[in-house]
Amino acid sequence: MRNKMIVVLSVALLAALGWGFYEYHWTGKYRLAIENQNKRAMNDLAGYLDSMETTLAKSRAGSSDRQRVFYLSRLAAQSGAAAANYAQLPAENTGLSYVGQFVAQVGDMSRHLTYKIAAGEALTAEEEDTLTAVHQRLIAVNQTIQELLVRIHTEELVWTTPGPTLSQRLFGRQVALASAEGEEGVAVSVRNGLEQLDANLQKLPPFSYTGDYATHAVSEPLGLPPVEVTSEQAAAKAGSFLEKMGLSAANLEYAGESQGEIPCYIFRQGTAYLEITQRGGMVRFFQDERPKGVRTLTAADAKAKVLSVLPELGWQDMVITATIDNGADLQVEAVSEIGGIRYYADKVVVRVALDQGQVVGIDATAYWAYHHERALPEARLSASDARKRLKADVQVEESRLAVIAKQGNEEVLCYEFRGRYGPEEYVIYLNAENGTEEEIKRVIMTPRGEFMQ
């Protein structure tokens, strides 16, 4: 009997060790896959930043309006691509941090200046000085990113400070690091380098310009309730939210406060990262970085999930306006539609995993920043009168009222006409009060979804 017990215990011990080694092996492979994904995003970000710096330098050197419009419009497109790659970095570095904010501002400013020059106006001395200041700051940001990229390829710099190895875990040995996370000096990881860059940008004075981001990045969030919450109250809200997402809140960990336009408390739970606003206690950002399984759901399934989840989380009267298929998940953009009018600034971005249909990402930054009761003038033009102002050969397929942000950035009520002109599709916005053509967007269809240019 005793020998049988020894055999049973020995088998159980071997099974436990085998399972532990299996888990450790696959955890390492998953970490490597995440590292490679981050490196790809970092490579693309570095490439676009380098192109942005070169393009901005050329725009400053050009003397003709034609050349300046060409380079500034290119700069706007490059900044959009850089921002998209920046958003693919891990959760701690997404959203309105100072690095992301700066990239967005460069693109916004270049779009405003392109519009101004194309309209026949000359740049002021102050605007030229701002271009110089932005260029100098862009040079510094680009240099830091390029140095991190070189170290990734030459020194195998990892994304986060490496944890202890298996032998260190088993025998308790620790490795002394030359520099701690978050401290000035030589970065010990890519994230550490980005944190140092972010901190350095915070120390610089803001530059002044006119543009959508400058005036639409409000001094305080318009959509948040005017009450401050404590970290304990935020933790309760975070736990409730995670349970609605089908996750356990048992091991919820408070991880500090975020920097940016909307101050938040940060929480982690396993693979999930969550930000709760300090004002109002609302979910600003959520991301579950769990590995995805085999895709079993369609895009229609994911959109239905979004439309059912948003009201449960307090976002009422939302309609889906765009989707991006990322393979393992579907990214869905939804905006407010009240009384038949769409408010494009009030946007929530949701990601749904296509293996089990769980919501794995939410970004409500824009919604909480801009959502408020509007006092807009009534439309003086009827829809049919506004439609007559379009080119005769534009074939309209959809039309509605919508509120958009115009250059210089007050919000304006428009008629939105979506249709075809020749072989291509466009969205045209006409001012509902005076019929002015406020904006034209071209619709680009790709395998991942449709994009606006």
**Length of the chain as a residue count:** 453
Report the distance separating Cα 364 and Cα 264, nearest Å: 12
Amino acid in the structure at residue 198: D
| Residue 382: Cβ within 10 Å count | 11
Report the range of poorest mean pLDDT among 43-47, 207-211, 340-344. Answer: 207-211
Task: Please say if the pLDDT value at position 335 is more than 90.
Answer: yes
Cα–Cα distance between 170 and 192 in angstroms, integer?
A: 27
pTM here is 0.65
User: Quick check: 20 pLDDT over 80?
Assistant: no
pLDDT (tens digit, 9 = 90+) per residue, 389-417?
A: 998 899 999 999 999 887 555 789 999 99
Helix (H, G, I), strand (E, B) or coil at 255: strand
Among candidate residues 327, 408, 395, 315, the one with its CA nearest the CA of residue 360? 327
Q: Looking at the predicted structure, is the pLDDT value of residue 29 above 60?
A: no
Contacting residues for 231 by C-beta, under 8 A, at least 6 apart = 254, 265
Angle at 32 between CA 22 and CA 172, to 5 degrees: 60
Across-strand partners of 431? Answer: 414
Helix (H) or strand (E) holding 41: helix 2-61
Q: Helix, strand, coil shares of the chain as percentages rounded to 5?
A: 45, 25, 30
Residue 26 has pLDDT above 90, yes or no: no
- Residues 381/387/388/393 CA torsion (nearest 10 deg): 170
Average pLDDT over the chain reads 81
Closest to 77 measured CA to CA, from 52, 100, 57, 99: 52
Please list the alpha-helical segments (H only) found in 313-393.
365-370, 383-387
Q: Would strands 411-421 and 395-405 be described as parallel, antiparallel, or unpaired?
A: antiparallel
Name the helix (H) or strand (E) containing 147.
Answer: helix 125-154
Architecture of domain 383-452: Roll (3.10)
**% of the chain residues with pLDDT over 70:** 78
